[in-house]
Amino acid sequence: MSKLNILLLGSGGRESALAWKISQSPRTARLFIAPGNGGTDAYGTNVALSPLDFDAIKAFVAENKIDMIVVGNEDPLVAGIYDYFASDPVLVVGPSKAGAALEGSKDFAKQFMVRHNIPTARYESFTAANIEDGYRFLETLRPPYVLKADGLAAGKGVLIIDNLDEAKKSLAEMLGGMFGASSTTVVIEEFLSGIECSVFVLTDGEGGYRILPVAKDYKRIGEGDTGLNTGGMGAVSPVPFADKEFMDKVEQRIVLPTIKGLKEEGIIYRGFIFLGLINVGGEPMVIEYNVRMGDPETEVVMPRIASDIVDLLEGAAKGNLADIPAEHDPRTAVTVMAVSGGYPGSYPKGLEITGELAPAESILFHAGTRRDSDGRLLTSGGRVIAATSYGENIADALAKSYKAVEAINFDGKYFRRDIGRDLMK
């Protein structure tokens, strides 16, 4: 059995869960996390490198004999990290820059779906040059109106507006630079009504793929899905409505045409595809593609992968994923995110975190945490720590996660108490 030195890029709860899983593999020799957080050092060695500083990463890879780079967040992928290392022997798990455009440009993603007959909301794209056409397109749609900045906008680039005049005004504002260069092009699409879920696929660019456990995340800050959007307040896996019949449709109508489409178009893609789906009366439709794992979905998906993740990641990077099993753990997993008071608005940082940091019945995945020079654990972000638990069902797993979140202390701690409630009806 060959062992690999692995460099994982990123610093959130997602990377904590990936590091946790990678560190359990007998195939991992050394694991480095760049830059990591106050919890990832339990699974490997944190290194102070920016995931966007490719030259520094290259030097680190050479110095530490890294065999495989696993990219957690989208920014390095959209900036072309796969292509940067294309002629280097190190394996990179992720899409090429051309593939990362599935997340980096919503207009590209929509065109790709139309080309390959993948079910998604009807849409058109506009720039300042044809804003009048945009107004006319809005007039053909029924409210609410969905306006999306074409480029990456840190999860903030989507507006859903009830009133036609306001939608027109927002279109003008977006094209006028509301999200900077990200909204130079705006996608306007039909509103779809249904319940969302996240499907994750690992693919090797050669037609081999594995569908990972399906999850649902909770994006809004407030209970009952109210208030501002956040990076994600909790997640559940599996998702009861994503049953065999639904997942068969997802595989046939979305996963296979996506993989085939990438290949046909000559787009190199050896990494995770995140399908943001909506269930419209039993029919899956694509809301968005992302080119990485989800956060906090990863905090429930990794615990539900029973197979060796390093085998799977290596299979994706080398092009032989069809030979590698991806068994799912039958248990339910939930995660509840403890966040800083004030988040997703402004919030304090540097508050000491105390309490039970090694609970018996849950796994704590650190997100916005860091250690000071005395080893004290401090908050360093909006989303602070996710508590993941297994259970026989959602309620059982949730009871453990709530207990774990309650046992952590920092000033202003907040969490939602209704994670998974919509799935338990």
Q: Catalog residues that contact ligand AMP under the rule CB under 6 A.
A: 121, 146, 148, 158, 189, 191-192, 196, 276, 287-288
* Helix residue ranges, H only, 336-418: 394-406
- 188 three-class SS: strand
Are the CB atoms for 336 and 401 separated by under 8 Å?
Answer: yes
CB closer to ligand AMP out of 144 and 348? 144
Please state the φ and ψ torsions of residue 304, each to the nearest 5 degrees. -100, 5
> Which of residues 271 and 294 has its CB atom nearest to ligand GLY in the complex?
294
Strand-strand pairing, 4-10 and 68-71: parallel
Contact between 294 and ligand GLY by CB under 6 A: the answer reads: yes
**Interaction between residue 189 and ligand GLY (CB under 6 A):** no
Q: Which is nearer to ligand AMP, 222 or 348 (CB)?
A: 222
311 makes contact with ligand GLY (CB under 6 A): no
8 A C-beta contact, residue 304 and residue 329: yes
Q: How far is the CB of 216 from ligand GLY (least distance, A)?
A: 10
Query: Pick from ligand AMP, ligand GLY, none: which does 121 bind, CB < 5 to 8 A by kind?
Result: ligand AMP
* Distance in Å, CB of 14 to ligand GLY, minimum: 7
Q: How far is the CB of 276 from ligand AMP (least distance, A)?
A: 5
Residue 217 binds what, of ligand GLY, ligand AMP, none (CB under 5 to 8 Å, by partner type)?
ligand GLY
Residue of closest CB approach to ligand AMP: 288
- Residue 54 binding result from ligand GLY, ligand AMP, none, given CB thresholds of 5 to 8 Å by partner type: none
| Residues 6+ positions from 161 with CB-CB distance below 8 Å | 143, 144, 145, 147, 167, 170
Query: Is 370 in contact with 378 (CB distance < 8 Å)?
Result: yes
Closer Cβ to ligand AMP, 275 or 364, answer by number: 275
Smallest separation (angstroms) from ligand AMP to the CB of 155: 7
Between CA 152 and CA 77 the distance in angstroms is 12
Measured from the CB of residue 347, what is the shortest distance to ligand AMP in angstroms?
Answer: 22
What is the rounded CA–CA span in Å between residue 88 and residue 36?
Answer: 24
Of 28 and 120, which CB lies nearer to ligand GLY in the complex structure? 120
Closest CB to ligand AMP among residues 287, 302: 287
Q: Which does 294 bind (CB under 5 to 8 A by kind): ligand AMP, ligand GLY, none?
A: ligand GLY
Given a contact cutoff of 8 angstroms between Cβ atoms, the answer to whether 197 and 288 are in contact is no
Q: Which does 290 bind (CB under 5 to 8 A by kind): ligand GLY, ligand AMP, none?
A: ligand GLY
378 binds, among ligand AMP, ligand GLY, none (CB under 5 to 8 A by kind): none
The span from the CA of 405 to the CA of 125, in Å, is 43
146 binds, among ligand AMP, ligand GLY, none (CB under 5 to 8 A by kind): ligand AMP
Return the SS3 of 22.
Answer: helix
Q: How far is the CB of 381 from ligand GLY (least distance, A)?
A: 15
Do residues 5 and 64 make contact, with C-beta atoms less than 8 angstroms apart?
Answer: yes
- What is the crossing angle of helices 131-140 and 164-173, to 10°? 150
Pick out residues in 205-234 that bind ligand GLY (CB under 6 A): 217, 232
Q: Could you give the C-alpha distances from 144 to 125, 160, 286, in angstroms and in order?
A: 17, 6, 18
Return the structure tokens found at 277.
């789906």
Q: Which is nearer to ligand AMP, 66 or 301 (CB)?
A: 301
- Decide which of ligand GLY, ligand AMP, none touches 353; Cβ closer than 5 to 8 Å per partner kind: none
Site for ligand GLY (CB under 6 A): which residue of 67, 124, 204, 297? 297
For residue 254, the minimal CB distance to ligand AMP (Å) is: 15
Length reported for the chain: 425
- Residue 72 sits at the vertex; the CA angle it makes with 69 and 78, to the nearest 5 degrees, is 90
Q: CA 338 to CA 147: how far, in whole Å? A: 30
From residue 122, give the alpha-carbon distance in Å to each of 140, 141, 178, 187, 188.
11, 10, 24, 10, 9
CA distances 362 to 300, 329, 397, 417, Å, are 12, 16, 9, 16
The one of ligand GLY, ligand AMP, none whose footprint includes residue 124, by CB under 5 to 8 A per kind, is none
Residues in touch with ligand GLY (CB under 6 A): 217, 232, 290, 294-295, 297
